[in-house]
Structure 1
Amino acid sequence: MTTTDVPSPLPTRFPADFKPQPRYPGTCCGCGEQSEFPVPFTMLHFGWNTGHGTCPHCGAALHLMLNIKSQHLLSEPHDIYLKRREATG
């Protein structure tokens, strides 16, 4: 048996409305452009509402925080987030 003969554990076709992870709107704090950022189910399942990503428009590294009530992502530059985190210990 070759590797191409091994059946995949994943379905071969997904429904047209299938979304692998939810996407939430957010505004890049660097360029001000609006985008939708994916948030993995596992993060939400375990109650984590923060993460990181990059802006698809300007490429800025961002720290993202999901506002649960408004379902909107808030962003700040990742380097500023790291400095703030180091300062609070």
Structure 2
Amino acid sequence: MNLLTNFEQWLLEERRAPKTIESYGSDVKGFQKFLNEKAANETQPLSRFSFVRYKQHLLDKQFAVSTINKKINSLKVFN
């Protein structure tokens, strides 16, 4: 079982709303995709370096601040 599947199972056990689970899952998948594209191991724990690079990536893509904050919150819950 991979980390994302384990995370989604944990969210179910915590009785999170299906939309919340879907949103968190989508944000984590986006982060894993970013790590994979940057030649890092997507299964590694969240590090400060990868987190800062991802945040800068979102800023460079001109995501709204509220969207970036939501994605960061999802990663905090995931971590």
TM-score (norm 2): 0.31
TM-score, normalised to structure 1's length? 0.29
Larger % of strand: which?
1
Richer in helix (by share): 2
If asked which structure has higher relative contact order (CA below 8 Å, sep 6+), I would say 2
